[in-house]
């Protein structure tokens, strides 16, 4: 809930008189209904590594959470489970792990603090190392997928929730940790929801074995605390009062027909009317919108008057290479204003320096999985009230700010209170495999905070059985040796199966490369002002056999020039992304060696590579119809090859794809030409049910 209204509209000094698009509501630092301040005096206690006069120390004193420091430490010491609710900007993510470390709770084990997104885990760890005056990777470190910046002496570890889940597979009681902090719990990512059950079970196992206790701290920015509290044995709920700085919220006077155009108008008005010294953060739904608005803002800014600061447009979305994502954290030079155009990647935990104004379009792109069709539907939809409040908080991290909502107050009242938990709207195949690898065979009765549908769990079990990872017996499903090997890879089960199949087809070197390439967002880029030239350059890498071979061609060309930066620039290749591919490949290689999978190359012969892809992706097969369209083999769903594919415009009889995405149409992404014989060979029983219309020929057809 918001803090209560403290000042009337006329007292707030807002610019609504000049801005008929919006009307204003001002909110102060005070906490709202039902909140309370948890304090315990002695706020001048010396802390960790700071001197009394260091700027970092003074900044920590000023955070709203500081007054509750001793109360938080006392509760965590005395209780097994604690739920902490604090507004965005209260300081909970950076400070609570430090408080517990300073209180010597790390003597019994490290503190793990989970984050839903890798960019948050990395940036927060960097921030905390500065506050503690230590080297990143020493006392404080982070672990994200395919990147581990920790050592044996790391005692405060920020990590993505998926990484802690993977650790639990090898260590179900999480023995190296004394405290697990589940941050941003309100986001309800699939990994966080599974972690709730896993850490709760680890806590119980430790008690049964009379081992050192495991403390669980659940942190949220919303008041869904009672739900979390009940789940964690009626845990005590602590409310952190207020955010660091007040934020004024302004609603649109009337409903906006085009939120991207309304965002452009708002950005340009703010840029021209507000004094220098405040950056603008705009929330959009995806890469296409961000790139389109970036061009419009850049063009419009060139026609602003001489008194306006120069605009630096900074995009931020998941597919952007990490070094470009990190640019948003660099403060704008004097006389310049950053305009950050971001997806919901910027909603939580991270602090972007300089942001004073937030423009919230009111929409988000959400993914929903439908077990009966096998479709991942990606669509633009209204956000929840919880997400709206998170976005508002981005304006009050470093100074007082203003959030401009491009929707009316009436529209806000109609929004859902919370976002539906991801575990109730995603493909559960990976989740079920991980749970079974943890020794939880009765997945249907796992202690979920909110249970996914039985259909979704049963569908996941059937997919795993078809892949050979599990087998159905008299007493339910049991994990097979192949499934246990698959669980070693931080990958979708079908991609793990592809790597394991490469041993038989003697192309393991190529397959770990291809899987690494499929694990990053975008290897190439096409600048708006050089689009045609970039597309022409990329044509030289295209393969008529599919996108995986195209990606392999780019990787091999990059290796041939030893990753020369000028070559990457000339060929519009994200050099940092390729380096990340190489890091991922190295880790996949290490897993293969650990599993005694011989690493061999098939050279230039791509037949075995495509055959191998068919062995893992056979459930993602589509066949061409007489009219030239495609239907998926499994659900007879009409699909189309994505326009960015190397196979777009060609008509191979059979293809497999890595993912299916529904936007304006149902598109296959990362498409590869296969022989129907390979599909039937991969899963004979499966293709008795899902019969192929064409007669299989031979392996080499």
Residue 254, burial from CB neighbour count under 10 angstroms (0-12, 13-18, 19+): exposed
The predicted-structure confidence for 413-447, as pLDDT tens digits, reads as follows: 999 988 888 888 888 999 999 999 988 888 988 99
Helix axes 493-505, 607-617, angle to 10 degrees: 140
> Which contiguous run of DSSP H or E holds residue 252?
strand 247-252
Cβ burial 128-158 (10 Å sphere, 16+ → b, else e): bbebbebebbebbbbbbbbbbbbeeebbbbb
Phi, psi (degrees; rounded to nearest 5) at 539: -60, -30
Sorting pLDDT into bands at 50, 70 and 90, what band is 540? very high
Residue showing tokens 């905390």 = 128
Give me the percent of the chain exceeding a pLDDT of 70: 87
Instruction: Please give the residue that has the higher pLDDT: either 146 or 233.
Output: 233
218/229 Cα distance (integer angstroms): 9
Closest by CA to 499, choosing from 598, 621, 605, 646, is 598
Query: Of 8-12, 31-35, 92-96, 185-189, which gets the smallest average pLDDT?
Result: 8-12
pLDDT at 58: 65
6/191 Cα distance (integer angstroms): 39
Mean pLDDT of 88-112: 91
Sorting pLDDT into bands at 50, 70 and 90, what band is 350? low
Q: Spell out the residues 6+ positions from residue 528 whose beta carbon is closer than 8 angstroms to its own.
A: 291, 295
pLDDT at 329: 84
CATH of the domain spanning 61-239: 3.40.50.300
Residue 5, burial from CB neighbour count under 10 angstroms (0-12, 13-18, 19+): middle
pLDDT at 368: 75
CA-to-CA separations, 127 to 332, 338, 615, in angstroms, rounded: 18, 20, 45
Query: Of 37-51, 248-262, 333-347, 499-513, which gets the smallest average pLDDT?
Result: 37-51
What pTM, to 2 d.p., does this model score?
0.75
Sorting pLDDT into bands at 50, 70 and 90, what band is 521? confident
**Do the beta carbons of residue 397 and residue 351 sit within 8 Å?**
yes
With a cut of 70, say whether residue 458 has pLDDT above it.
Answer: yes
**Do the beta carbons of residue 195 and residue 114 sit within 8 Å?**
yes
Based on C-alpha coordinates, what's the Rg of the chain?
Answer: 26
pLDDT at 346: 73
Mean pLDDT comparison of 144-148, 375-379, 540-544, highest-scoring range: 540-544
Report the chain's mean pLDDT, rounded to a whole number. Answer: 84
Query: Of 45-59, 76-90, 232-246, 431-445, which gets the smallest average pLDDT?
Result: 45-59
Mean pLDDT of 118-132: 91
pLDDT at 322: 65
Cβ burial 514-545 (10 Å sphere, 16+ → b, else e): bbbbbbbeebbbbeeeeeeebeebbeebbbeb
pLDDT at 24: 46
The predicted-structure confidence for 311-332, as pLDDT tens digits, reads as follows: 889 988 876 766 677 778 888 8
With a cut of 70, say whether residue 367 has pLDDT above it.
Answer: yes
Q: Spell out the residues 6+ positions from residue 271 whose beta carbon is closer than 8 angstroms to its own.
A: 280, 301, 304, 308, 309, 311, 337, 339
Query: Of 574-578, 622-626, 682-686, which gets the smallest average pLDDT?
Result: 574-578
> Which contiguous run of DSSP H or E holds residue 612?
helix 607-617
234/82 Cα distance (integer angstroms): 9
Give me the percent of the chain exceeding a pLDDT of 90: 53
Cβ burial 67-95 (10 Å sphere, 16+ → b, else e): bbbbbbbebbeeebbbbbbbbbbbbbbbb
**Do the beta carbons of residue 3 and residue 27 sit within 8 Å?**
yes
Bridge-partner residues for 623, per DSSP?
631, 654
pLDDT at 48: 41
**Do the beta carbons of residue 410 and residue 23 sit within 8 Å?**
no
Helix/strand/coil (H/E/C) assignment for every residue in 383-448? CCHHHHHHHHHHHHCCCCEEEEECCCHHHHHHCCCCCCCHHHCCCCHHHHHHHHHCCCCCHHHCCC
483/229 Cα distance (integer angstroms): 35
Provide the CATH topology of domain 247-422. Rossmann fold (3.40.50)
Mean pLDDT of 204-212: 94
**Do the beta carbons of residue 285 and residue 361 sit within 8 Å?**
yes
With a cut of 50, say whether residue 9 has pLDDT above it.
Answer: no
pLDDT at 175: 93
pLDDT at 420: 83
pLDDT at 61: 79
Rama region for 649: left / alpha / beta (φ>0; ψ in -120 to 50; rest): left
CA-to-CA separations, 658 to 522, 593, 669, 693, in angstroms, rounded: 14, 25, 6, 22
With a cut of 70, say whether residue 130 has pLDDT above it.
Answer: yes
pLDDT at 55: 58
479 DSSP assignment: E
CATH number 1.10.1060.10 is the correct assignment for the domain at 427-488: no
Closest by CA to 186, choosing from 3, 362, 393, is 393
The predicted-structure confidence for 606-653, as pLDDT tens digits, reads as follows: 999 999 999 999 999 999 999 999 999 988 889 999 998 999 989 999
With a cut of 80, say whether residue 125 has pLDDT above it.
Answer: yes
Rama region for 22: left / alpha / beta (φ>0; ψ in -120 to 50; rest): beta
Give ranges for CATH 1.10.10.10 in the chain: 427-488
Give ranges for CATH 3.40.50.300 in the chain: 61-239, 247-422
233/237 Cα distance (integer angstroms): 12
Sorting pLDDT into bands at 50, 70 and 90, what band is 12? very low
Residue showing tokens 């290689």 = 589
């Amino acid at each position: 809930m918001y803090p209560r209204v403290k000042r009337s509209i006329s007292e707030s000094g807002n610019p609504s008189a000049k801005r008929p698009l919006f009307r204003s509501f001002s909110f102060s630092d005070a906490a709202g209904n039902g909140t309370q301040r948890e304090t315990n005096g002695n706020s001048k206690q010396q802390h960790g590594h700071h001197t009394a006069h260091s700027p970092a120390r003074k900044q920590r004193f000023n955070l709203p959470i500081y007054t509750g420091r001793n109360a938080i430490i006392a509760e965590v010491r005395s209780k097994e489970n604690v739920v902490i609710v604090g507004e965005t900007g209260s300081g909970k993510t950076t400070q609570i792990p430090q408080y517990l470390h300073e209180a010597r709770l790390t003597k019994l084990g490290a503190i793990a603090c989970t984050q839903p997104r890798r960019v948050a885990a990395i940036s927060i760890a960097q921030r905390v190392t500065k506050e503690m005056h230590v080297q990143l990777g020493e006392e404080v470190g982070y672990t994200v997928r395919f990147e581990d910046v920790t050592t044996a002496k790391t005692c405060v570890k920020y990590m993505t929730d998926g990484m802690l889940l993977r650790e639990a597979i090898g260590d179900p009681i999480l023995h190296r940790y004394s405290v697990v902090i589940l941050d941003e719990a309100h986001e309800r990512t699939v990994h966080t929801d599974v972690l709730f059950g896993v850490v709760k079970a680890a806590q119980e196992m430790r008690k049964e074995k009379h081992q050192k206790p495991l403390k669980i701290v659940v942190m949220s920015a919303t008041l869904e605390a009672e739900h979390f509290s009940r789940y964690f044995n009626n845990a005590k709920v602590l409310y952190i009062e207020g955010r660091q700085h007040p934020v004024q919220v302004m609603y649109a006077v009337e409903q906006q027909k085009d939120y991207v155009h309304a965002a452009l108008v708002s950005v340009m008005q703010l840029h021209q009317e507000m004094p220098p010294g405040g950056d603008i953060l705009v929330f959009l739904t995806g890469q296409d919108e961000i790139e389109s608005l970036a061009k419009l803002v850049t063009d419009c800014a060139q026609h602003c008057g001489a008194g306006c600061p120069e605009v630096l447009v900074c995009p931020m979305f998941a597919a952007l290479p990490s070094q470009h994502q990190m640019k948003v954290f660099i403060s704008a030079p004097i006389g310049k204003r950053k305009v950050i155009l971001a997806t919901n990647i910027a909603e939580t935990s991270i602090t972007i320096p300089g942001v004073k104004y937030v423009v919230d379009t009111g929409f988000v792109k959400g993914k929903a999985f439908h077990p009966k069709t096998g479709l991942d539907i990606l669509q633009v939809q209204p956000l929840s009230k919880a997400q709206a409040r998170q976005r508002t908080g981005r304006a009050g991290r470093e100074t007082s700010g203003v959030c401009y909502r491009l929707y009316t107050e009436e529209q806000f009242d109609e929004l859902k209170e919370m976002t539906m938990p991801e575990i109730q709207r995603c493909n559960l195949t990976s989740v079920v495999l991980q749970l079974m690898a943890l020794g939880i065979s009765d997945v249907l009765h796992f202690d979920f905070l909110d249970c996914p549908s039985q259909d979704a769990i049963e569908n996941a079990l059937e997919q795993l059985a078809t892949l050979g990872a599990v087998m159905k017996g008299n007493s339910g499903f049991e994990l097979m040796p192949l499934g246990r090997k698959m669980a070693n890879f931080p990958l979708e089960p079908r991609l793990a199966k592809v790597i394991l199949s490469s041993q038989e087809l003697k192309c393991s070197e190529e397959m770990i490369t291809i899987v690494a390439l499929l694990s990053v967002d975008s290897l190439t880029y096409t600048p708006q002002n050089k689009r045609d030239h970039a597309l022409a350059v990329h044509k030289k890498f295209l393969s008529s056999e599919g996108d995986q071979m195209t990606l392999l061609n780019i990787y091999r060309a990059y290796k041939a020039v030893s990753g020369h930066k000028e070559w990457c620039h000339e060929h519009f290749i994200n050099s940092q992304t390729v380096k990340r591919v190489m890091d991922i490949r190295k880790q996949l290689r290490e897993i293969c060696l650990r599993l005694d999978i011989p690493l061999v190359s098939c050279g230039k012969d791509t037949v075995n590579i495509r055959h191998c892809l068919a062995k893992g992706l056979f459930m993602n097969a589509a066949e061409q119809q007489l009219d030239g369209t495609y239907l998926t083999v499994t659900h007879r769903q009409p699909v189309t090859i994505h326009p960015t594919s190397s196979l777009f415009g060609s008509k191979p009889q059979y293809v497999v794809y890595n993912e299916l995405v529904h936007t304006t149409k149902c598109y296959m992404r990362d498409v590869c030409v296969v022989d129907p014989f390979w599909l039937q060979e991969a899963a004979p029983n499966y293709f008795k049910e899902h019969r192929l219309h064409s007669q299989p020929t031979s392996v080499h057809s």
